[in-house]
Structure 1
Amino acid sequence: MQAYLSLITITGALAAGAVSPGPSFIFVARNAMSLSRRHGFATALGMGSGAFIFSIFALLGLQAVFSAVPVAFWLLKIVGGVYLILLASNILRSARQPLHGLTSNQTASISLWQAYIFGLFTQLSNPKTAIVFAGVFSALLPQQIPPYFYAVIPLATFCVDAGWYSMVALVLSSEKPRNAYLRVKTLVDCTAGGVMGLLGLKLILSSK
């Protein structure tokens, strides 16, 4: 019974973390609105896969690794910061491009697989996610971890993140949100790119 309660509590804590705004939400929302619903779903699956990987690392002792090898967390911050800045640069470059031209050009050049990979690396580039997973697992896992946890928890985290971001993609790729985005595209893209760039810069500066 205690193990089931722990599993439910962990899943709930990770769900609360998933729905909080951040780079992942911005990226999924923008892909769903500016590219297509399918690209939004592919990005969401990438986010879920990133959560799946983080959950496995956390189960294997991610917090212990960061404590024993501080340089590992430093490298994660640097790589994550650079990746977010590159994403921000791409968003800002296309901010003034009309949605029709952006959609036709980018949908042709960005495959669903690429959207998935971008989603995966956006999730993996976020050290906050790594810390949340490590902290939640350290606090809520039972002292004796049942063997089935190593399969059930990663699957649950994938479902939580992929499910949430798929809902985001579904809602924001609908006609009304898309039309609203069209009216204020430049402002939204500049804001999204600016926020992502600042988050990336903050990660790099905080690693010093």
Structure 2
Amino acid sequence: MEFLPPLLTLALVQVLAVVSPGQSFLVISKLALSAGRAAALSASIGMGLGSIVWATAAMVGLAVALKNDQWLYAALKFCGGGYLGYLAASHWRHAHDTSLGETRETGNVTLSRAFLQGFLTQLANPKVVIFFGSIFFAFIPPHAPTWVSLVCLIIVFFNETLWYSIVAFAFSIRKSQNFYYRAKTWMDRMMALILGAISLKLILDALRIAIGSFEG
């Protein structure tokens, strides 16, 4: 039970980060509109696997450093809080933006090509790199057992694949697309408020850890 709260928090924060419209959202929505639902779903799976690559790299590269370095742990929490604050501000600032850019027919896109496009899009997405480089370990304690890391990878894959699959279904239906345009403003602002609250908590936690290490 010790690791349930941080895992649930990680899942929530990642969902909020994933659903923020960006490069990956644009790719899936365009594929759904121009190449069909199957191609967009294939790309969604590719994005899920691409996220696992970044999550695994983060765990392998940072686990040793975080184990005995409270200052680094506090710094990552602080950076994570700052990044969430940035996301919150971005959600709020662009709440009225409804443009998906130009959509155009792409011809017959094979499922393998769509999968590769999704996978490479995720690998090249700066938001994903920053997320797993700072937010990921802001929630999971450095002494967490191996099974917690495996659960994290499952959460990452599930959230990414499920959300972009939903986008694929939604943007292959014109009525759903129109609903998104109408509801986007209040949805984005609600996400901004939630992200802002979590951002503040992370920053305060980081300051507490840093002060405790300094006093110790």
TM range (shorter): 0.5 to 0.7
Task: Give the number of aligned pairs.
Answer: 143
Who is 1:148 aligned against?
Answer: 147
Percent identity (aligned): 31
Distance 1:111 1:62 in 2: 37
Counterparts of 1:159-174 in structure 2 under 5 Å? 159-174=158-173
Counterparts of 1:1-208 in structure 2 under 5 Å? 1-61=1-61, 102=105, 106-107=107-108, 110-176=109-175
4+ aligned runs moved over 2 Å, structure 1: 61-64, 175-178
Distance 2:137 2:149 in 1: 14
Q: SS in structure 2 opposite 1:153?
A: helix
Distance 1:52 1:127 in 2: 15
Q: Which moved more, 1:132-141 or 1:158-167?
A: 132-141
Deviations along 1:151-208, whole A, 9 cap, x unmatched? 2111110000100010001011014467x7xxxxxxxxxxxxxxxxxxxxxxxxxxxx
Distance 2:153 2:139 in 1: 15
1:3 Cα shift? 1.1
Q: C-alpha root-mean-square deviation of aligned residues, in Å?
A: 2.4
1:15 Cα shift? 0.9
Provide TM-score, normalisation by structure 1. Answer: 0.62
Q: For structure 1, which runs of at least 5 residues remain unmatched after alignment?
A: 68-91, 181-208
Q: SS in structure 2 opposite 1:148?
A: helix
Who is 1:196 aligned against?
Answer: none
Q: SS in structure 2 opposite 1:60?
A: helix
1:112 Cα shift? 0.3
Distance 2:6 2:139 in 1: 6
Provide TM-score, normalisation by structure 2. Answer: 0.60
Who is 1:198 aligned against?
Answer: none
Q: For structure 2, which runs of at least 5 residues remain unmatched after alignment?
A: 66-71, 73-100, 179-216
Q: SS in structure 2 opposite 1:143?
A: coil
Q: Which moved more, 1:29-38 or 1:120-129?
A: 120-129
1:62 Cα shift? 5.3
